Amino acid sequence: MISSKKLTQLRETRPFGIGRLFLLARRDFANRLAQKMADKHPDGRIPGGSLLPFLDLEGTRSTELAKRAGISKQAVAKVLKELEEAGLVTRTEDQTDGRAQLVRFTENGVNYLLKIHAAIKSIEQEYEALLGVDGLQTLRSSLSLLAYSQEEQP
């Protein structure tokens, strides 16, 4: 049997653990985005949503997408097929390596990305209403530091 002392300790600390807060905040963001994009996707699923944030505007190799997203190459291939069928991306030969392919947004893909970013802007306004202007700026600065501390900031 689990001691009441351990359960009490977990009840006090678990809700505010940074990992849990990141996951819950991510879920909140994803739910808000799905609601805003519902007119385009009634099922709430954004096609390729797991890969789109990792795809550079100039194009990205599928192997790099797998690495960035933390999923298998096979899973990337499946999502890319879905994105291609939706007309959002295309694969072309990488001029620097004939064996590799670059995944790039199509014109429709860029338009879709712009719609997503408009929805994200709306979410940011909702977060600003919750956190205040300074709070949102602090959140953005803190997340940027964490996200890009190991690499150059965009």
Determine which of 35-49, 97-111, 130-144 has the lowest per-residue pLDDT on average: 35-49
Distance, CA of 109 to CA of 117 (rounded, Å): 12
Record: fold of 23-148: Arc Repressor Mutant, subunit A (1.10.10)
How does residue 3 score in pLDDT terms, banded at 50, 70 and 90? Answer: very high
More confident residue, 38 or 135: 135
Q: Which residue has the higher pLDDT, 39 or 28?
A: 28
Strand, coil or helix: what is 64? Answer: helix
Name the percent of the chain lying above pLDDT 90: 69
Q: Is the dihedral of CA 103, 105, 106, 109 positive or negative?
A: positive
What is the DSSP annotation of 83-97? Answer: HHHTTSEEEEEETTE
What gap in Å lies between CA 151 and CA 154, rounded to an integer? 9
pLDDT at 153 over 60: no
* Residues 42-97: tens digit of each pLDDT: 555 666 777 999 999 999 999 999 999 999 999 999 999 989 998 999 998 888 87
Q: Give me the percent of the chain exceeding a pLDDT of 70.
A: 92
Q: What is the pLDDT of residue 99?
A: 80
Return the pLDDT at 42. Answer: 53
Q: Look at residues 14, 5, 24, 105 and name the one whose alpha carbon lies nearest to residue 57.
A: 105
Q: What is the pLDDT at residue 79?
A: 92
- Mean pLDDT check: name the lowest of 84-93, 101-110, 145-154: 145-154
**Average of pLDDT values for 99-111?**
91
DSSP 2: -
Collapsing DSSP to helix, strand or coil, 41 comes out as coil
pLDDT at 71: 92
